[in-house]
A and B are shown apart, each in its own frame.
Chain A
C-alpha cells in the first residue's frame, strides 16, 4: 500500500513556519501594566499608535493584543472627535 504523497507545502505554510521561528512572544504593552481602560484624553500616549499619516497602526505591528487594540481604537476615534488627534496628517499633503 502506497502512502499518499505528502501534500506540497504551499507558500502560506512556509511563511507560517518562518513566523513561528523568527518571532518572539511580544507582549502587549497594556497587558504588562494590566490596564483596564485606555483614556482617550491622553493623546501623548495615543500618538504612538497612529502613523505619520494619522492612520491607526495595526496590532501586528505594535504587538498589542486584540482586547487592548479594540479599546485603543475606540479611544483614538474619540480623541479624533475632540481634535486631540488628527484624522489625516502631514504625510498625505
Chain B
C-alpha cells in the first residue's frame, strides 16, 4: 500500500467567543481529534484568544481565533470543511495550502526573528592609506604590472 504524499495546510477558524473558556477548549479539542483521526499530523496549533472582529459575524463583535498547521493527504480538506460546517460554534474558517515558497518564506522569517537584529553597519574604521615607502631611486612608475595588457 503506497503512502500518499502529505501536503502541508494551514487552517484558521473562529470560535464563538461568547462561550466560556472551557467550552472553547472543548471545541478546539474536538477539532484536534477530528484531524488526528483522519491521518493528519498537527505541526502547530496556535490559539490567539479573543479578538475584536472587523465587522460583526452572526451579530457578534468578538471571536476566538485559532490557527492550526498540519500535514495531511489531500482528501482531508473537504472532510475538514464539512466538519467545520457541522460544528455550530465555529463561525468562520479558512484553509490554505502552504506551497513550497510559503514554507521557505516562513523559515526565513523565523530565522530572522530568532537571530538578534543587526545593530546597523559597524562604525567605519579609519583606514589610513598605506604608506609605501619608496626606496630611494625608484621613481619610475611607468613600468606597471602586466595586468593591463589584455
Contact = CB atoms under 8 A, between A and B. Distances in A.
Given A36-B108, A78-B94, A83 B101 contact: no
Nearest to A35: B105
A86 B55 contact: yes
Interface of A: 35-37, 40-41, 78, 80-89
B106 interface: yes
Contacts of A78: 94, 96
B102 A83 contact: no
A82 B14 contact: yes
B108 A83 contact: no
Contact of A83 (B57, B96, B104, B105): B57
B18 to A, nearest CB: 15
Contacts of A35: 105
Contacts of A87: 54-55
B54 A37 contact: no
29 contacts: A35-B105, A36-B101, A36-B104, A36-B105, A37-B102, A37-B105, A40-B96, A41-B12, A78-B94, A78-B96, A80-B54, A81-B94, A82-B12, A82-B14, A82-B65, A82-B92, A83-B14, A83-B53, A83-B54, A83-B55, A83-B57, A83-B92, A84-B54, A85-B54, A86-B54, A86-B55, A87-B55, A88-B55, A89-B54
A12 to B, nearest CB: 38
Contacts of B104: 36
A27 B16 CA distance: 42
B5 to A, nearest CB: 21
Nearest to B112: A33
A89 to B, nearest CB: 8
A88 B67 CA distance: 25
Contacts of B94: 78, 81-82
A89 B52 CA distance: 14
Interface in B83-134: 92, 94, 96, 101-102, 104-106, 108
Contact of B102 (A36, A80, A89): A36
Nearest to B48: A41
The 6 lowest CB-CB distance pairs between A and B, nearest first, are A37-B105, A36-B105, A83-B53, A86-B54, A37-B102, A83-B54
